[in-house]
Structure 1
């Protein structure tokens, strides 16, 4: 009787622990989130990631990406990943500003000199710090996608910060982005990305800010025809998996995911560079007006309070800013 009771207790314990053990022998179905369309550089990068993982695990891990925000908007998807109901995704880092402190650094305006500078930072010390903060909230960073330089587009011309005064500009859900727009004299209006077109069309907002491919692919140029090349931000994006899924993998599987993610990022960056050129050509051909901002010093000069608020009292973040600026 005692032996039966002991065996039953062992069986119950094994059943409880089983879901958390590496499952190298059985197939796993993973759900992935992407806000963009499947043919966007990010979508193609995510699909390549899934293909490589499937090939290299003999389909023990099968990944399906749900493109075009089918599983919810970005803030919702982040929460789902933290809970484990979304397994992998490509996120912009700005919505993490209130959750992972180091993401504020790479969101700071006018920090990066160019795309190559951004890549060097995120592939190095900045990426390491951000990955540590993301893991603490349940998200494992595997590689970094490009998201291009973000500029302001509006329903009327903007050539100087003074032209933005009083304009309602859509921003992502982030205190830093709100403060950035306030420093420029605009009225920041946090909205889900999917609501920007109708909000521009109806006059709820006067403009937004994003990169060339997003401006073109969403057809925002139809309702906000002036694109001012402020290039105020170059926030990288992350290809990540849920920590809950990650903890169930063995080391060989983790290495497969890391390698596949890096290869997917290489592809995405190449496709992104090509798409930026195409997108600019398309919106210009469609009648959008590009206002070239050649001197950004009047814009960057307004950012001192933003830097002070988000890094001034934090030695770790101040050191990140210094290291990024010193990169050559």
Structure 2
């Protein structure tokens, strides 16, 4: 039985479809979803995308992005996009894992050697493979955005995996993340993100993991002063269009949208890199001590049980192999 919320979305989708019977030359109003606040790099990247589309379509395609999750949380937005009541959005991979299994590969730990390696992978044939799977599920990727590498921050210094042994590390509520922390010899402690500061302060946990901007903006550096650049997770995000909208576009508009999206991705990546740099400087100025991990080999070796559990499907195992072999 359909929930009331889903029925509302379906009704909105039906109304939206009525507007899609127009020819490609007629004006189109598009609704976009974004979970981040307006000043976030992702939000600014999306704003650049909508500006470029308006310019290049002579304002024939008019897009409005609803930032700060105004149209619901990510799981809700994904369903709305598949129904057609949201036209475009920027998603992280976690909410897509159960819908499109190949997206799980991009979330595996220590898979990307660097940010540059990640860009090469997602902007090339491997990214195209995952994009095709997403399109078959009703979500057509146009470009890949950055979300930053996640690293460990703790109440004691961490230089090698053994230093984590016995520590209680906050993780997201996810079997994969629990298994990653266990493989490192630490005790995984699922907690809501909003409870991390007080839990570090009270000793409920000994550390957490996240990217530089999150570590800085939440002021977690005040209660967990040791940051180790493990960069164990570097998961891309995707700027996408509803397949229901996409199928009604002519080829010229599709090409224009892809080009605009990819330009916006380059802009967003530059903004993200700058945001990371500023956040790192702020936490160091605030007393954080940073250990730069240069040899991730010992960390990666501990992840083999995780890969055996989450990348056993032959197709996913092949994607992992191709990513590792990408120069």
Partner of 1:315: 314
Alignment deviations for residues 139-196 of structure 1 (CA, whole Å, 9 cap, x no partner): 1110011223211223444344344345444444544333222222334455665665
Alignment deviations for residues 276-326 of structure 1 (CA, whole Å, 9 cap, x no partner): 222111111122222333332332121011111222x32222221222222
Matched residue pairs, number?
Answer: 313
Q: Go from structure 1 to structure 2 and tell me whether the alpha carbon gap of 1:314 and 1:194 turns closer, same or farther (over 3 Å shift).
A: same
1:113 lines up with 2:113 in the alignment: yes
Q: Distance in 1 between matches of 2:208 and 2:249?
A: 41
Q: Distance in 2 between matches of 1:33 and 1:197?
A: 29
Q: Distance in 1 between matches of 2:168 and 2:31?
A: 36
The structure whose Rg is larger is 1
Residues 97 and 176 in structure 1, CA contact (< 8 A), matched pair in contact too: no
Q: Distance in 2 between matches of 1:188 and 1:248?
A: 47
Q: Distance in 2 between matches of 1:16 and 1:243?
A: 13
Q: Go from structure 1 to structure 2 and tell me whether the alpha carbon gap of 1:140 and 1:190 turns closer, same or farther (over 3 Å shift).
A: farther
Q: Distance in 1 between matches of 2:16 and 2:71?
A: 29
Q: Go from structure 1 to structure 2 and tell me whether the alpha carbon gap of 1:52 and 1:16 turns closer, same or farther (over 3 Å shift).
A: closer
Q: Go from structure 1 to structure 2 and tell me whether the alpha carbon gap of 1:282 and 1:16 turns closer, same or farther (over 3 Å shift).
A: closer
Partner of 1:149: 149
Partner of 2:325: 326
1:101 lines up with 2:118 in the alignment: no
Note the aligned Cα RMSD (angstroms): 2.8
Q: Distance in 1 between matches of 2:16 and 2:309?
A: 47
Partner of 1:228: 228
Q: Go from structure 1 to structure 2 and tell me whether the alpha carbon gap of 1:155 and 1:319 turns closer, same or farther (over 3 Å shift).
A: same
Q: Go from structure 1 to structure 2 and tell me whether the alpha carbon gap of 1:282 and 1:306 turns closer, same or farther (over 3 Å shift).
A: same
Deviation of 1:77 (Å):
3.0
Q: Structure 1 regions of 5+ residues with no counterpart?
A: 1-14
Deviation of 1:83 (Å):
3.3
Partner of 1:67: 67
Q: Go from structure 1 to structure 2 and tell me whether the alpha carbon gap of 1:161 and 1:53 turns closer, same or farther (over 3 Å shift).
A: same
Q: Distance in 1 between matches of 2:109 and 2:215?
A: 19
Partner of 1:140: 140
Q: Distance in 1 between matches of 2:35 and 2:191?
A: 15
Alignment of 1:1-328 (within 5 A): 18-172=18-172, 174-190=174-190, 206-311=206-311, 313-328=312-327
